């Protein structure tokens, strides 16, 4: 539309606002335009300057009135204006930086994306109820994506409540986005599993149409026995998880309202205080009855899980990936609750105790010869720690333990096999807080991540890499001898730091441990020795540990403030999160260095593995090492010989 057309429309608006004789109706008079209202209009437009025509359309006011108000603000020194070729005048704040420091929200309804610049804590808390933080580095604003699963698990009893939250977060109405969100809200209420009075499970649909067009098209005799009515199907015992997964993938999450076991009552007194976000996690879990606490390492998911035990008030089974983590769980439960040692048991290769609070490994809980022991006891709550494992064939056998309440814990529920949806259908919806908010509040330290591109340590390995193929090529880059000198350099640059050095290969780990005069902890390390080393690290008796993949998860190392990834860059994104998480803690400067051999595929692996951490709000830097590592290695060898 041209400016002349705009002016004509504004003239008509001006005519309509009068009584027909050119006299303005007092009831239709507008207050003078304020600088704050101009800022709000700029936020809606997504740019720091506006024409009078744009502002008039936004305010739904006559062009002439808006122009008068703009000139008045300019006379006061609040606005500046500039003539440009395509529009008579553009207006902008006299102090433009005042606008750049304000929170701005821009909505892209078709992409279901929300870009927020300088969001305050309230806005981020509101957004987290219905949107996923996809990119939180803050440089180009925070990018939120509204996904179906975010709407499905929104903590509201009605769509009206969710709609109010959206409008508070966005500061505006977005009819297109709200319409899509409402459709997803309705989808999440089309199916539910219930218990029939005769004690079998029934799949219920909201209508005969949705049952016939969706459920009965997707499910077969493997999942249901027969129809009971136009909106009800008799479910085969044991197929509940498969039904939830199939309908979830079809875009229809199933509410699980079965009368599942609630377990014998157990009084658990929590003797520590929860942080505000942990309390929010627990409250949202109690509303849903199931869910997954998602937060960075160090954010207190274990404490929040124990608080959930207290609220549920029933006997609890905790499933963990390793006996080391089982021991740590047992120690934590006894340390922060009123429970006595005889009420807390461990069930794994080293101990076999079934008690009101039992911590067992996934592997043993899934074995046929042990499973009946867990089946015979009614659990009020089952906790799946490191629940990203659950979709794997070995671990998912433990998910048949379907109690009334199912809680998952994970720093990164990412999977490389596209089975992440299984986590939420087998356990429950994600419940979390955006990482950047925890960093800013000081609950968790934001580690500094740096990828360091290291040259080859010698010509022999570089030449071998050039002629190798496939897995051998990857291993040669991973075990580049130049990394030994670089690890030494980084440790010397951070004297006194508690350091973890991660490797993917046992031989490389042994070589690094020998070069650093540090212990090497791997899957071959006996459990008693592993426990001794971990305790020594926690108690400052040793300050450097070399770790194989055994250290990626299931080991609590809260006091580490330096992590060096010497190899293992072909691993999953989850592995990158776990290793970065070893340096996340409430205080201190946390550092993580990732070493990649320059000019090899390790460069790509390093960027890919840490990319999603950048989207969580962590800063990722890149540095090319220019020192002559081969000379340094020879010098180190000569010094050692001289010492001998």
Confidence check: pLDDT of 643 > 60: no
**For 322, phi and psi rounded to 5 degrees?**
-150, 160
What is the per-residue pLDDT for 624? Answer: 86
Per-residue pLDDT tens over the stretch 450-495: 888 999 988 888 899 888 887 888 889 889 999 999 999 999 998 8
The pLDDT confidence band at residue 128, using thresholds 50, 70 and 90, is confident
Tell me the average pLDDT across 383-409. Answer: 70
**For 617, phi and psi rounded to 5 degrees?**
115, -5
Please determine, looking at this structure, whether the domain spanning 445-643 carries the CATH number 1.10.3720.10.
no
Q: How many CA atoms lie within 13 A of 357 on its CB side?
A: 26
As a whole number of angstroms, the distance between CA 20 and CA 35 comes to 31
Q: How many CA atoms lie within 13 A of 415 on its CB side?
A: 16
Query: Residue by residue, what is the 3-state secondary structure of 198-244?
Result: CCCEEEEECCHHHHHHHHHHHCCCCCEEEEEECCEEEECCCCHHHHH
Which residues are within 8 A (CB) of 161 and not within 5 positions of it... i.e. 6 or more apart? none
What is the per-residue pLDDT for 230? Answer: 96
All structural domains of the chain with their residue ranges: 3-99, 103-187, 191-252, 276-433, 445-643
Query: For residue 14, which of 85, 74, 64, 57 has the smallest C-alpha distance?
Result: 64
Query: For residue 298, which of 407, 445, 485, 406 has the smallest C-alpha distance?
Result: 445
Which fold, 3-99? Answer: Arc Repressor Mutant, subunit A (1.10.10)
Query: What is the torsional sign of CA 250, 256, 261, 266?
Result: positive
The pLDDT confidence band at residue 443, using thresholds 50, 70 and 90, is low
As a whole number of angstroms, the distance between CA 66 and CA 72 comes to 10
DSSP notation for 176-191: HHHHHHHHHHHHTTSE
What is the per-residue pLDDT for 368? Answer: 66
The pLDDT confidence band at residue 298, using thresholds 50, 70 and 90, is confident
Does residue 79 contact residue 35 with C-beta atoms inside 8 Å? yes
Confidence check: pLDDT of 588 > 70: no
- CATH number of the domain at 276-433, out of 3.30.1230.10, 2.40.10.120, 3.30.300.30, 3.40.50.300? 3.40.50.300
The pLDDT confidence band at residue 5, using thresholds 50, 70 and 90, is very low
- Beta sheet of 79-82, edge-to-edge order: 50-51, 90-93, 79-82
Tell me the average pLDDT across 584-606. Answer: 73
Helices (H) and strands (E) in the chain, counts: 27, 26
Q: 276-433 with 445-643: one CATH topology?
A: yes
Structure tokens at 49: 């300057």
DSSP notation for 231-286: TEEEEPTT-HHHHHHHHHHTT-PEEE-------SB----B-SPPPHHHHHHHHHHH
Write down the residue that tokens 């990857």 correspond to. 474
Per-residue pLDDT tens over the stretch 186-195: 999 999 999 9
What is the per-residue pLDDT for 484? Answer: 93
The pLDDT confidence band at residue 362, using thresholds 50, 70 and 90, is confident
3-state helix, strand, coil in the chain (%, to 5): 45, 20, 35
As a whole number of angstroms, the distance between CA 333 and CA 302 comes to 9
Tell me the average pLDDT across 602-607. Answer: 79
Residue-averaged pLDDT of the chain: 78
Per-residue pLDDT tens over the stretch 37-92: 887 787 777 666 788 888 888 888 888 888 888 888 888 888 877 665 444 577 66
DSSP notation for 124-148: HHHHTTT-EEEEEEEBTEEEEE--H
């Amino acid at each position: 539309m041209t400016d002349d057309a705009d002016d004509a429309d504004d003239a008509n608006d001006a005519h309509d606002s009068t009584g027909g004789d050119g006299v303005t109706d007092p009831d239709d008079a507008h207050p003078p335009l304020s600088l704050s209202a101009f800022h709000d209009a700029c936020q809606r437009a997504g740019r720091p300057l506006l024409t009078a025509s744009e502002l008039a359309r936004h305010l739904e006011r006559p062009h002439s009135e808006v122009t008068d108000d703009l000139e008045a603000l300019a006379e006061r020194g609040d606005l500046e204006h500039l003539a440009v070729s395509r529009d008579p005048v553009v207006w902008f704040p006299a102090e433009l930086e005042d606008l750049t420091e304000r929170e701005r929200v821009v909505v892209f309804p078709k992409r279901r994306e929300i870009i927020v610049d300088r969001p305050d804590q309230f806005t981020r808390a509101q957004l987290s109820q219905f949107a996923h933080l996809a990119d939180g580095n803050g440089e180009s604003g925070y990018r939120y994506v509204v996904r179906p699963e975010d709407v499905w698990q929104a903590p509201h009893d009605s769509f009206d409540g969710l709609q109010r939250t959206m409008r508070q977060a966005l500061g505006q109405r977005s009819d297109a986005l709200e319409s899509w969100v409402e459709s997803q809200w309705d989808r999440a209420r089309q199916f539910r599993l219930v218990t029939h009075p005769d004690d079998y499970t029934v799949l219920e649909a909201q209508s005969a149409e949705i049952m016939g067009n969706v459920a009965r098209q997707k499910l077969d005799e493997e999942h249901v026995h027969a129809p009971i009515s136009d909106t009800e199907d008799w479910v085969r015992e044991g197929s509940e998880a498969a039904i939830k997964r199939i309908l979830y993938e079809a875009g229809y999450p199933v509410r699980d309202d079965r009368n599942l076991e609630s377990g014998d009552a157990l009084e658990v007194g929590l003797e520590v205080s929860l942080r505000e976000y942990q309390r929010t996690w627990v409250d949202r879990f109690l509303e849903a009855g199931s869910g997954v606490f998602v937060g960075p390492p160090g954010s207190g998911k274990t404490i929040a899980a124990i608080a959930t035990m207290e609220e549920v008030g029933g006997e609890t089974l905790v499933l963990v990936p390793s006996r080391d983590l089982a021991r740590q769980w047992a120690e934590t439960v006894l340390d922060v609750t009123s429970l006595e040692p005889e009420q807390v048991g461990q069930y794994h290769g080293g101990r076999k105790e079934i008690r009101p609070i039992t911590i067992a490994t996934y592997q043993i809980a899934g074995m046929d010869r042990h499973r009946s022991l867990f089946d015979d006891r009614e659990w009020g709550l089952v906790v799946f720690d490191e629940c990203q494992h659950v979709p794997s064939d070995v671990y998912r056998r433990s998910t048949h333990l379907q109690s009334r309440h199912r809680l998952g814990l994970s720093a990164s529920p990412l999977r490389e096999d596209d089975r992440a949806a299984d986590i939420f259908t087998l356990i429950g919806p994600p419940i979390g807080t955006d990482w950047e908010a925890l960093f800013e509040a000081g609950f968790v330290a934001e580690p500094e991540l740096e990828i360091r591109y290291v040259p080859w340590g010698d010509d022999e390995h570089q030449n071998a890499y050039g002629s190798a193929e496939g897995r051998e090529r990857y291993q040669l880059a991973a075990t580049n001898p130049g990394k030994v000198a670089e690890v030494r350099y980084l440790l010397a640059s951070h004297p006194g730091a508690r350091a973890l050095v991660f490797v993917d290969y046992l031989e490389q780990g042994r070589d690094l441990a020998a070069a650093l005069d540090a212990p090497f902890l791997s899957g071959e390390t006996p459990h008693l020795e592993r426990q001794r080393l971990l305790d020594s690290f926690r108690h400052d008796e040793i300050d450097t540990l070399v770790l194989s993949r055994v250290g990626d998860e299931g080991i609590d190392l809260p006091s580490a403030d330096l992590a060096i990834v010497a190899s293992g860059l072909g691993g999953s994104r989850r592995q990158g999160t776990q290793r970065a998480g070893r340096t996340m803690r409430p205080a201190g400067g946390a550092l993580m260095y990732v070493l990649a051999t320059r000019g090899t595929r390790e460069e790509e692996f390093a960027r890919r593995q840490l990319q999603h951490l950048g989207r969580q709000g962590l800063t990722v830097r890149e540095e090319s090492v220019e020192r002559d590592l081969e000379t340094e290695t020879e010098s180190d060898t000569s010094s050692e010989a001289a010492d001998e």
